[in-house]
Structure 1
Amino acid sequence: MSYPTSQVTFALAAFLSITSGSAHAFGAVGHSAIGDAAAALIKGSRAEQQVQRILGSVSLHDIAVWADCVKGIDPASEFKYTVTGRYPECAVFENNPDEEARMRDYVQRNHEACAPKPGEESCHKQYHYTNPALQRGRYVQGALGTSEHDLVGAIGAAVTVLKGGKAPAPFNLANEREALALLVHIVGDVHQPLHVGSVYLDEAGHAIDPEDGVDRGPTHTVGGNALTLPASNLHAYWDNAPGKLSAEDLAALPAAARKIAASSGDVSQWPAQWASESLQLAGQALQGVTFGLRQQSLRGPRWAAELPADYEPRALAITRQQLARGGARLAALLKAIWP
């Protein structure tokens, strides 16, 4: 199927509106909690030994945020790290010449490796998400909003390197440490519903199918980044949801992760399965949300969103579930790499 040029262009260009502050799926709390749960589930296994060999003194808890911390490397500032002190979770990688050199090298190799089109983000940032329309119902590579270097591809590339292979282009992973850091983080990303699914809206705020061949101008809400709330946007709301969980909720995640059913089929198919599941959950995340008229802002089109009264309890229930799934599936993937 061919797509209206303006819709395709905006679907690509709108990725630019996902900044490092709003694209941290599940935030540091969520990513680190997934790392903690996975660490508990691989304890005593060969996978635990291999993780320790690769990371040394760095834990899964800490490395889980590395792929977001590297967003502090600014290509426009000679690839310097420009956000020292802004994100406490990145402190372990800051003010350390070796660690900052690793981040800089990774970004330099993965900045334009995918030949980003005008308006698109740095390639390594595109590894964190995919944005098929809710109407697709499941993740299908090639659908509008997907790419060969989206989060499904990123998980596959990292697994390939950890199994001793070479990452497929455009991914450029220099070693096992980069691959493991990327894998731990992106498994978290694929379980944040709005890192996988997007609602596409017309100028009146009505949901539409962007693949129906009708040109309605810019319709992509960029995983909820273009859906504004009084304090932020809907994507950031979901990124920050783990921070609203209690200490008891987070402490219970390893036990909850142990109860998660194993993924079916070949390991290579797991990432697409998980993305399909999150696409369904993105529909639930948008259920009952109402949208205003399309408005133009300095950062592109925006739609005001209003949440229903029962929204937060539903969102937190999904968040708890997805964090447990993320921990269980990361552990299962690590054990599959190193049986």
Structure 2
Amino acid sequence: MSRILPALAAVALAATASPAAAYWEYGHQTVAEIARANVRPQTRVAIERLLRQSTALLDTPTCPTRTIEEASVWADCIKTIKTPDGKRPYDYAFAWHFQDVNICKPFDLVEPCKDGKCVSAQIERDVKLLRDKRTPAKDRVQALVFLIHFVGDLHQPLHAGEKDDKGGNDVGATYGIYATPHFNLHSVWDGPLAERAITTGPSLVRRYPAAVRTRIAAGTVTDWSRESWLVAHDSVYASALGGDPCAPNPAHVTLDEATIDKLVPVAKLQVERGGLRLAKLLDQALS
């Protein structure tokens, strides 16, 4: 059953979304569930062991991490945490959720990932921290929950490619019959389109055949970054701008039902890719 109505109820909160706001809960949780279903048994045990320690080590009671589903949204949840003096202790991680790679220029991560401040660099860093048994327990737990979230972020195309428009946040959008003023291009791909894709057809949360896992999880984090960047070019902006992704952005775009129908398989595949690639990285880091 589609979650479009609860998603619309949450749109007002997403209206002020920055490029770091990602996939809402449903997309991230589904990526995490796919990964859990496809990791090796010993990896699953290691994940559960780390998450059992997470409540005490992270000390973020308003942002629980007891399960992989909860852990998948921790990196967004902590953005709301404030100290008594009004400071946000996790602001340092703001730029880790995305990478500003212009879809109308050659693909290049050098400048967007300067000083490691982009999602792909943080994914690689988290894997290294998890693989190193000398990493302090708190840092390993934090690396795990960041990794679970960031792989989902990378597969939301507007976290991998954009047009100097805050990942589509500056472009208002009408989604099908929903002409709410709170939607923008980014929030459409975060919420209603992702949820429609996830709830269309057979469940994405299942054990995939080994050949499928190998095919989808092939490549490197850089390869996956380029692929998501291309999805932003070929599908996100092309569909919104009448076929020319590099045309000037209008203030508002409309995705009609025919366009949405064409985008559902694209969004569905991105969630599937995110889950199986997260499983691969977790196996590499924890098995």
Same fold (TM over 0.5): yes
Q: Which residue of 1 aligns with 2:122?
A: 154
Which residue of 37, 40, 57 maps to 1:40?
37
- 1:308: Cα distance to partner? 5.5
Shift of 1:40: 0.7
Distance in 1 (CA, whole Å) between partners of 2:18 and 2:209 is: 28
* 2:31 alignment partner, SS class: helix
Larger Rg: 1
Q: Which residue of 1 aligns with 2:101?
A: 132
Q: Which runs of 4+ in 1 moved over 6 A?
A: 291-294
The one-letter code matched in structure 1 to 2:206 is P
CA–CA distance in structure 1, aligned partners of residues 38 and 198 of structure 2: 21
Corresponding position of 2:156: 192
CA distance in 2 between counterparts of 1:151 and 1:18 reads 22
| 8 A contact 2:18–2:169 mirrored in 1 | no
Partner of 1:180: 144
Q: How many residues align?
A: 246
The alpha-carbon deviation at position 315 of structure 1 amounts to 2.2
Partner of 1:278: 228
**Distance in 1 separating the partners of 2:201 and 2:194:** 9
Shift of 1:307: 3.3
Amino acid at match of 1:282: A
Separation in structure 1 between the aligned mates of residue 230 and residue 283 of structure 2, nearest angstrom: 27
Structure 2 Cα separation of the partners of residues 49 and 226 of structure 1: 42
Q: How does 1:310-325 map to 2 (within 5 A)?
A: 310-325=258-273
Structure 1 distance, partners of 2:113, 2:105, is 11
For structure 2, the 5+ residue unaligned runs are: 1-13, 53-64, 175-179
Q: Is the 8 A contact 1:127 1:151 kept in 2?
A: yes
For the 8 Å contact 1:20–1:71, the answer to whether it is kept is no
Matches within 5 A, 1:98-113: 108=89, 110-111=90-91
185, 190, 198: which is aligned to 1:234? 185
Residue by residue, what CA displacement relative to the aligned partner does 1:27-57 show, whole Å, maximum 9, x if unpaired? 211100111111111252x211211110028
Amino acid at match of 2:118: D
Please report how far the alpha carbon of residue 175 of structure 1 lies from its aligned counterpart in structure 2 after TM superposition.
1.5
CA distance in 2, matches of 1:185, 1:165: 22
Task: Note if contact 1:22-1:239 (Cα within 8 Å) is conserved in structure 2.
Answer: no
- Contact residue 97 and residue 150 of structure 2 kept, 8 A: yes
Task: Name the residue aligned to 2:25.
Answer: 28
Q: Is the 8 A contact 2:217 2:273 kept in 1?
A: no
Cα 1:256–1:48 change in 2 (3 A) is closer
Taking the aligned partners of 2:209 and 2:104, their CA distance within structure 1 comes to 29
Could you say which structure has the greater relative contact order, defined with CA pairs below 8 angstroms and 6 or more residues apart?
Answer: 2
Distance 1:154 1:249, change over 3 A: farther
The two structures, once aligned, show a CA RMSD in angstroms of 3.2
1: CA distance, partners of 2:95 / 2:16: 11
Displacement of 1:164 in angstroms is 1.9
Is 240-249 or 319-328 further displaced after alignment? 240-249
Which structure has the highest strand share of the two?
1
**Closer, same or farther: CA 43–312 of 1 in aligned 2, 3 Å:** same
Cα distance in 2, alignment partners of residues 234 and 160 from structure 1: 34
1:73-152 equivalence runs, <5 A: 73-74=81-82, 78-79=86-87, 108=89, 110-111=90-91, 123-138=92-107, 140-143=108-111, 145-147=112-114, 148-152=116-120
1:330 aligns with 2:278: yes
Within 2, Cα distance between the matches of 1:305 and 1:317?
A: 20
Which one has a larger percent helix, Structure 1 or Structure 2? 2
Normalised by the size of structure 1, how large is the TM-score?
A: 0.64
Is the 8 Å Cα contact of residues 22 and 236 (structure 1) preserved in structure 2? no
1:144-178 C-alpha deviation (Å, 9 max, x unpaired):
x44321001111121121112789xxxxx952111
